[in-house]
Structure 1
C-alpha cells in the first residue's frame, strides 16, 4: 500500500471521529473497508503524530478525540464538493428552524477554488423538490416541538389522531423523516419501533425524561425498514387490465409499490394489456373506477363483475334527473 493511500485513509478515520464523536474499531473498520488491526495501527500512527485519539475501554468503548480537537483539513475533492448542494433542502430545513443557506455559505467559503466552483455549478444545474405534484405539504403545527424533543433526546407525550379518535401515548422520539413532502416521526413505544405521521400529531408534551436510544441506532436504516413494512403490509391481488397508454402514469401511481416497475411509461400506441398488483380487491375497484373509460378490467372475474356493478350503479344515477 502506498503512503498516499494510507494517509488518505487516516484522514478519513480522523474526520469520521471528528463528526461522530466515538466509534468502535469494528465500526471504523467497516467504514474504511479494512480489518480492525489496520485501524489499530492507523490510530497508533495518529497518536505518534500528536493527534489526541483516546482509546476507551469497556463494552461501550472505542476511539474518540480528546479535548474538543478539531482539524480544518477537509479533503473535499471536486466531485464531493458538487454533492454538497444535495445534503439538505431549504424548505424542510426552514421548517426545522435550521439556517441551511448560512451553513452552505460557510461550507463554500471553506473549500478550495476548484471545489467551490464545482459546488456552485451543482447548485446552478440541479434542484431538489421533495413535494409531490399537485399537492401541498400537510400542515404540521407540532413539527417544531417534535424537532426540539429529538434534538434534546427527551421523551414526549403525544396527542395523536388515528381514524378520527384522539389518543395519548408516551414515546421515545428517535428522529424525523421527510418523505414525498410529508414528515414522519420514528419513535419507540414500550420498546417497539413505531412510525407516526406528524400531521396527525395534535399535541406534544415534552417530559423531563431522557430518550432510551438503542445502541447503534441509524435513522436512515430504521426509516428504510419502516417504509418497507408499510409498503408491503397488505396482501395483493393480481389484476389484468386493458388501459390506454396515455393513462399509464396515473395507473402506475395506483398499484402496489413492488409492481410499479411493470408499468412501462415509454410504451407507445393506443392501448396495452398489463398485469399489476393492487392492495386488495376493494382498493383496486375504487382506484380503477377513477380512471373511467380509459381502463377495462380483464381479470380476475370477481373484480370485473364488481366493476360492472359499480359502473352500472353510477350510470343509473345519472340517467335520471336530479331531485
Structure 2
C-alpha cells in the first residue's frame, strides 16, 4: 500500500507541478501527516522533490522531472481508457485509471480523458443478457466518437427502408446485449442501435457537443423513453404452476405473479410494448396459460388460432388418417 501511494504521489506531482500536503492528502484519501511523510519518503529515495516554504509554497519536482509511460500511441491510449473508463468499473480500476492518466504524456491527456467518458455499460436488465456484436460499423462509429467528428449515418428499423442523416456521435452504450450510439441530431439527442446501422461515413466536420453534455445522464433520459415503450401495455392471465419458470425467463422484470387461484393456477400480469405482442408471446405456452384480459388480447389470440389452424390444420388431419 505504501509503495502504491508513493507512485500515486509522484504522478500527482508530475501532473500538477506543485502540490501542498493537504492537496495530496485529499487526492490519496489519507491524513495530511501521512501525505507529508510520503513526500519526505520520495525525497529520501532520491526522487528530485523539494519543499518550497512560505506563501504559494508546496512540493515540486526539480527541473520538471517526469516519469512518462512510453511506447503508447494516441490510438492505444484512447482504446485503453475507453475500455477501462466504462461505468461499472471497480474502485481499484478507477484508481489505476487516475494514476495512469497522470503518467500519460501531456499531449495525450485530453484524448485519454475524452475516451474514458465515451462509453458506458448499463447493467439494468431489459430481459436480454447475451452480448451481440455491434454490427459491421461498430469500429467506425467508435472511432468517430473518439475523434470527435460528425458521421453520415445510414439507419433502418426492421421492415423500414434505410434513410441517411448526419449525426454527432457522442458516446456508446452497451445495454441488454445490444450496442447503442448516443448522438446529436436535428431533432435533439437520439439513440441508434448499432446492429441497425447500414452505413457510417465519417466527415471532416467536428462534433457539435451540447454544453455540459454527460453521457450517463443523456443515456438515462433516452433509456427512460425506451423503457416506457417496452411496458406500454399489460395483459392479465391465469397460469399453471409449472409455466411460471418459463414466464419468468420470458418476461423477467416485466412479470408480476399474483394470488393463488382455487384451481391451483396463479394470476399473473405481463407488461410489454403492445397487447398484440404480449398475446403472441403467451400463445407459445398453449393451454398452460389462459389470457383473461383485456378483451383485445383474447380477440388477438382467437385470430392467431384461426390463422394457425388454417395453415397447419391439414397436418393434424394427415396424422390421424
Q: Secondary structure at the match of 1:149?
A: helix
CA RMSD of aligned residues (A): 4.5
What is the aligned residue count? 222
Tell me if structure 2 keeps the 8 A contact 1:157–1:207.
yes
Residue of 229, 233, 236 corresponding to 2:232? 236
Gaps of 5+ in 1: 1-5, 15-46, 53-67, 73-93, 112-127
Output aligned runs, 1:307-322, within 5 Å: 307-315=301-309, 317=313, 318-321=315-318
Corresponding residue for residue 265 of structure 2: 271
Corresponding residue for residue 198 of structure 1: 194
Residue of 220, 225, 231 corresponding to 2:221? 225
State yes or no: 1:161 paired with 2:159. no
Corresponding residue for residue 148 of structure 1: 143
TM-score, length-scaled by structure 1: 0.55
Gaps of 5+ in 2: 1-20, 30-54, 69-75, 85-91, 101-122
State yes or no: 1:288 paired with 2:282. yes
Q: Secondary structure at the match of 2:179?
A: strand
Compare relative contact order (CA 8 Å, sep 6+) and give the higher one, 1 or 2: 2
CA offset digits 1:40-99 (Å, max 9, x no partner): xxxxxxx945489xxxxxxxxxxxxxxx99999xxxxxxxxxxxxxxxxxxxxx9x9548
Tell me if structure 2 keeps the 8 A contact 1:281–1:303.
yes
Where do 4+ consecutive residues of structure 1 move more than 6 Å? 68-72, 130-134
Q: Aligned pair in 2 of structure 1 residues 211, 136: CA closer, same or farther (>3 Å)?
A: closer
State yes or no: 1:207 paired with 2:203. yes
CA offset digits 1:195-241 (Å, max 9, x no partner): 11111112211111111111111111111111110111377343221
Corresponding residue for residue 16 of structure 2: none
Corresponding residue for residue 118 of structure 1: none
Larger Rg, first or second structure (1 or 2): 2
Q: Aligned pair in 2 of structure 1 residues 48, 292: CA closer, same or farther (>3 Å)?
A: farther
CA distance in 1, matches of 2:307, 2:200: 46
Corresponding residue for residue 115 of structure 1: none
Corresponding residue for residue 28 of structure 1: none
Q: Secondary structure at the match of 2:213?
A: coil
State yes or no: 1:299 paired with 2:293. yes
Output aligned runs, 1:92-111, within 5 Å: 98=80, 107=96
Tell me if structure 1 keeps the 8 A contact 2:148–2:207.
yes
Tell me if structure 1 keeps the 8 A contact 2:129–2:176.
no
